[in-house]
Chains A and B, each alone.
Chain A
């Protein structure tokens, strides 16, 4: 029974989800339900156990690593709900389903962070993915949204099948699906087996899909663009963070001793992702699509931390994800506040019309570029520090060169906001919750940039 204590957050969130599902029958207000969901996320975050330990014969683990990610997931969930309350794309009558799916996805993500067994990991991943597929197609009337969901579903299923394939091979080799047993197997000379290489490749490809690393990113731009913007904000942060959590657990903890075997593959992923994401983002006229590519590029920087294969490297990834959550959510919040926020023209002359909004967007964009005092700089610095420490200087140089490329497309948007006159009148949402989300995220981006100790994991 005491083992169940470690699962408190997962259990509480699931129960809350069911409660909100039922109360949706009586409560019709999107705002109230949203507040309830945020309250549930808050309670869950509060109940994340401080102790560490394993449950169910070591299949489930609660430690500082998983707790950090769970906290991050609750944050993402709350912000995604805030965005949904203020957004018109999520219709009042479907609010219950929307919130429940978000929570369900979050439960899956929490299991991924805590999985100490490849099967648990897989189940968590599927729970998350299935919820997010539905969320992507949430605008049922929109062809775009449907197409995006279908594409995401097909490619995503393909990816999880490959993951299963990899897990099966690992099981054949090591006789277990437990990550601890795999680690033991690899350490005692299992890394010489060529079949292990294939298994590793399958796992890396599957997670590459989930974090949208080039060349497995094909689904991302369409899914991000087609999904309702609050969902895009959620899935560009939450599922990505969960995939990184699992990535780190499997590769660094499980296959840590086989670093020499998997690091070349990750190196290739890093170069392709950083280069591909940034170069493709340069050509995008649609702002939402541009941020889809930008989020691909950021996955590339985070992969650098995974590549380091060290604890410091994973800590850097965690810091990066936390900062990235604020800045990316902030961007999407601003996008939601503007009518036609996906179009570049909506931003022309924003500084004159909405100085506050333009100022916040300025902070987010400089943060994404990695220019201090915005927090993005801290994330990049820590990832690069860990990677250079692990001897990956050349890759870091490649990454920094492409981060200069990224300055170009981020700052072009700054230029549009501050140095162009507005074309016609673009109305701006008066939603207080969206404004709250914008101000909160901007505040945290600045705060974490100036006082990085608040978020540095170490």
Chain B
């Protein structure tokens, strides 16, 4: 029973249900109803999804490395294609992150979205469905299906409810992403033909592809994922899209969409093309560390808070990639923890900026100051988030960055040194922002209407802060889920390395 690949501990199609609930909610939005009813419905739907995700944690078998809660239904016979979903220790944390972030996104746009409310929440709910779909797909076509379908609601969210320059940002986002993923499509087709005419990820992950093919397939998939992360130099869309999008869309992009790219590295790129992963080890590390430094350096120069966090997010995504690219267990563990942690922290930071922007109609640090006395609760929340972002011990990012750096120092000392410099830059821009926002004297006194965080906002921040502290103090709760799956991935990678070294010796 344990090693049955069709084993589904839930005894029901739990993962499909998880995807269907938000989609059904989005469909209900087609009916005419009041704006308030729409908001309540959206919140209810996302909360229901979150509740349905609880059995996943409860029934998840931590000792098993293979996929769990698997469902398989024939889909397209002509292509030997199945609808197949399942999760393992790598995807579970990301599924949980998605269901946690979604209700917060609904709450974050409670007061700020007043036009075309139905369409807005329909897009938001569709996004949740699609994001879950990406993390649970066990089939390349299904994966790509969700990967591309995501563009439609996201494009509308940025363009319709974003700022005045949202249209251009939305187009940029879409063209960049499509440009990357279309190469992935060619890669998927080639993989299908080379790997014995199947799109099944489990079958393909031990297809043992020829080395030459691995190299260029790696390139094709890399383009798709690198744009989404994004990795410098594929990041052109990111600052604009983050800055111009409505808050909830920014949170989704920073907290979850970026993780989809990183997830692609762990789920597809490394296990499918282990030989290529070792071959491209150095370039990948260098690209990641450049992303870390470039993002942090640009963040130093930003005047707009949203852009500052956008660039800091770029820098942190570089860290995540850095950990994975070490191809060590420590590094990959660190990356996955950092994925969850960064999702929560960046989500929180964008949420905080939005809350302040709603009050002051500005995001320029110069217009803020002295929040410690003017809005103490808000100042405390920002303190926690800023400390977490800089990797303060006791917070989740510390665990992630520490593991990533330990993985890095298992051989890559120079790159490790540069990465540490990236952490230092992170402290620099964060403390600058902290000083300007919280401690500095405001240039103009705040208007009378200015108020501290309300109940709705505190409800949003609470789960985020809890996750930050919980993972920071007790990382085991995440690591236990991941252990078996990461071990399996590392085994695949090490086996490939052994073959590679043996071939090198013979030559």
Contact = CB atoms under 8 A, between A and B. Distances in A.
Interface of A: 351-352, 362, 366, 369, 371-373, 377, 381, 384-385, 388-389, 393, 396-397, 400-401, 403-404, 407-408, 411-412, 414-415, 418-419, 452-453, 456, 458
A453 B159 contact: no
A361 B119 CA distance: 16
Given A384-B185, A400-B185, A453-B78, 5 more contacts: A366-B152, A369-B178, A371-B178, A400-B182, A415-B170
B146 to A, nearest CB: 8
Contacts of A403: 182
A415 B179 contact: no
B166 interface: yes
Contacts of B144: 372
Contact of A452 (B76, B174, B183): B76
Given A366-B152, A372-B145, A415 B167 contact: yes
B101 to A, nearest CB: 23
Contacts of B148: 371-372, 377
B184 to A, nearest CB: 10
A139 B397 CA distance: 70
Contacts of B141: 381
A281 to B, nearest CB: 15
B193 interface: yes
Nearest to A378: B76
Contacts of B182: 400-401, 403-404
B192 interface: yes
A438 B91 CA distance: 40
Do most interface residues of chain B lie in helix, strand or loop, or is the interface mixed? Answer: helix
B384 interface: no
A407 B186 contact: no
Contact of A385 (B171, B175, B179, B189): B189
Contact of B149 (A373, A419, A456): A373
8 contacts: A371-B148, A377-B145, A388-B193, A393-B186, A400-B183, A404-B179, A407-B175, A418-B159
A408 B183 contact: no
Given A385-B192, A404-B179, A453-B78, A419 B159 contact: yes
A415 B145 contact: no
B155 A411 contact: yes
A400 B186 CA distance: 8
B189 A388 contact: yes
By Cβ-Cβ distance, the 8 closest A-B pairs, closest first, are A458-B78, A400-B182, A456-B78, A419-B159, A372-B145, A404-B179, A388-B189, A419-B167
Interface string B234-245: 000000000000
Interface in B147-161: 148-149, 151-152, 155-156, 159-160
Given A388-B190, A389-B193, A407-B174, A415 B159 contact: yes
Q: Which of B151, B166, B171, B182 has its CB near the most chain A CB atoms (within 10 A)? A: B182
B503 interface: no
Given A397-B186, A419-B166, A411 B174 contact: yes
Residue from the set A366, A377, A381, A458 with the largest chain B CB neighbour count within 10 Å: A381
B123 to A, nearest CB: 11
A372 B149 contact: yes
B75 interface: yes
Interface string B336-378: 0000000000000000000000000000000000000000000
A404 B190 contact: no
B129 to A, nearest CB: 11
A454 B129 CA distance: 24
B443 interface: no
Contacts of B455: none
Contacts of B159: 415, 418-419
